[in-house]
Amino acid sequence: MVSFLAGLLDATVQAATVLLLAGLGELISERAGVLNLGVEGMMLVGALGGFIVTVVTGSYWLGFAAGIVLGMLLALVHAFLCITLKSNQVISGVMLTLLGTGITTFFGSAWVEESIDGFPQIAIPFLVDIPVVGEAFFRSTATDYLALFMVVVVWYFLNHSNLGLEMISVGEDPEMADTMGVSVFRLRYLAVLIGGGFAGAAGAHLSLAFSQLWVPGMTAGRGWIAVALVIFAQWRPRRMLVGAYLFGLLDALQLRSQSLSLTLGPDAPLASLVNPVVEFLMTPQIMGTYPYLATIVVLAYAVIRTKSDRLAVPSALLQSYSRETD
């Protein structure tokens, strides 16, 4: 049981890092008022780009950097469409996800057979010896540590820096920000680019640290879960940490559950009734749907809460801004 728990936690940390990086990026972008539904596409581009660069150069750090840059490049398209041309953010985002999926499937087919030496696991002395959690949390890749560190950075940035305050103001009331001499245009571009960089990093972590190989469509909807996570987190970095680990746990359960038996013994009361249900719920294919089911629950919860207006949605989310149109 202890080894199962340790293994589960280990898988949770790895799965959570992907969601954490992508979610933090999406959070920044949305706080500035721009919804980015292209996360999935940006993650895939970052995953493939990072993988190719690592194969070619042999340096996973260069690969990781390439993933970030490619994510930002795709985000630049989103920024141009939504901020400069003021087109619909939802349509632009979905289009970019489709584009990212298409491009990576096309160019990625040649790289499926390749293998790399990705991010190694780094153990933190002493802490790693803590029972159960030590191995999971303190023997991880550099990107896992980085993601945790970024929670603090993003939290500090949004709450304790002028640039962060300005970014929030742009997402709450761009007209107000403009009258205070804050450049709505520049800050929204910056936020979307940072968001794209985070998504690219999440993708690169997936191919360079998590699985250490490239498979087309390997993000498997995690970009969409990141979008839902932002709602779960109520647009706050610290809650994002909780959400990412919760969803990471659901993801990990699916991988690790084969070694776990939850069925009742044949003599237990109601065993004939309960066991088939448990077995069905533990089928890997069914378990694979849990993160997505959880996403639906989170979104439904969000919609119900929105009516009571207590949700921390940035007030100007989805609104484009220009000065002389009112």
Partner 1 sequence: MSENTTLRMEGILKEFPGVVANDHVDLSVERGEIHGLLGENGAGKSTLMKILYGLYSQDAGDVYFQGERLDLDSPQDAIDAGIGMVHQHFMLIPRLTVAENVVLGEREPATVFRDDAGEESWLPASIRNNGLVQSLAGTFSLGLDVPEQRIQELADRYGFDIDVSAKIWELDVGQQQRVEILKALYRDVDLLILDEPTAVLTPTEAERLFESLERLTDEGLSIIFITHKLKEVDAVVDRVTVLREGKNVGTAEVSSVTRADLAEMMVGREVLFEIDREAVDLGEPVLRASGVSAEDDRGIEALSGVDLTVRQGEVVGIAGVSGNGQKELAEVMAGIRDPTAGELVVSGTDITGAKPKRFVENGVSFVPEDRLRYGCAKDLSVMHNATMKDFDGAAFGDRGFLDYGKLEDYAETLVDEFDVRGVRDVTETDAGDLSGGNLQKLILAREIYRNPDLLVANQPTRGVDVGAIEFIRETLLEQRKEGTGIILLSEDLDEIFDLSDRILVVYEGEFVHETTPAEADRERIGLEMTGGSGDESASDPTASPAEVTQESES
Point out which span in 33-41, 66-74, 90-98, 154-162 binds partner 1 (CB under 8 A): 154-162
Q: Which residues of 299-310 are buried (b: 16+ CB within 10 A; e: fewer)?
A: eeebeeeeeeee
* Of the residues 73, 94, 148, 175, which one makes contact with partner 1 according to CB under 8 A: 175
Closest approach of Cβ 197 to partner 1, in Å? 17
CB of 301 to partner 1, least distance (A): 21
Can you tell me the distance from the alpha carbon of 40 to that of 27, in angstroms, rounded to the nearest whole number? 14
- Spatial separation of the C-alpha atoms in residues 209 and 84, rounded to whole Å: 36
Residues 219/62, Cβ–Cβ less than 8 Å: no
Report 262-291 residues binding partner 1 (CB under 8 A). none
Residue 308 found at the interface with partner 1 (CB under 8 A)? no
**Contacts with 206 (C-beta within 8 Å, 6 or more apart), sequence order:** 18, 43, 47, 218, 219, 222
Among 73, 165, 282, 302, binds partner 1 (CB under 8 A): 165
Distance CA(36)–CA(321), nearest Å, equals: 16
63, 47 Cβ separation under 8 angstroms: no
Maximum CA extent, the chain: 76
Please identify, among the stretches 108-116, 137-145, 159-167, 252-260, the one whose residues bind partner 1 according to the rule CB under 8 A.
Answer: 159-167
Q: Cβ of residue 68: shortest distance to partner 1, in angstroms?
A: 20
130 near partner 1, judged by CB under 8 A: no
Tell me the closest approach of the beta carbon of residue 169 to partner 1, in angstroms. 5
CB atoms within 10 A of CB 11: 20
Contact between 152 and partner 1 per CB under 8 A: no
- In whole angstroms, the minimum distance from the beta carbon of 184 to partner 1 comes to 10
| Nearest-approach distance from CB 156 to partner 1, in angstroms | 9
Nearest to 19 by CA among 39, 38, 4: 39
CB closer to partner 1, 293 vs 323: 323
Q: Which two tokens stand for residue 241?
A: 């940490």
- Non-local (6+) Cβ contacts of 282 within 8 A are 257, 260, 262
- Candidates 3, 105, 109, 161: give the one binding partner 1 (CB under 8 A): 161
Residue 320: CB minimum distance to partner 1, A:
14
Residue 322 in the binding site for partner 1 (CB under 8 A): no
Q: At what angle do helices 39-57 and 184-205 cross, to 10 degrees?
A: 60
Angstrom distance (rounded) from CA 5 to CA 193: 38
Asked if 199 and 43 count as a contact pair (C-beta separation under 8 A), the reply is: yes
DSSP state at residue 186: H
Q: Pick the closer one to partner 1 by CB: 151 or 158.
A: 158
173 contributes a contact to partner 1 by CB under 8 A: yes
How many residues interact with partner 1 (rule CB under 8 A)?
24
Single-letter residue type at 274: V
Binding-site member from 5, 65, 176, 302 for partner 1 (CB under 8 A): 176
Shortest distance, position 161 Cβ to partner 1, whole Å: 5
Asked if 179 touches partner 1 (CB under 8 A), the answer is yes
Nearer Cβ to partner 1 (99/172): 172
- Is 182 a binding residue for partner 1 by CB under 8 A? The answer is yes
Which residues of this chain interact with partner 1, rule CB under 8 A? 157, 160-166, 168-169, 172-173, 175-182, 312, 315, 323-324
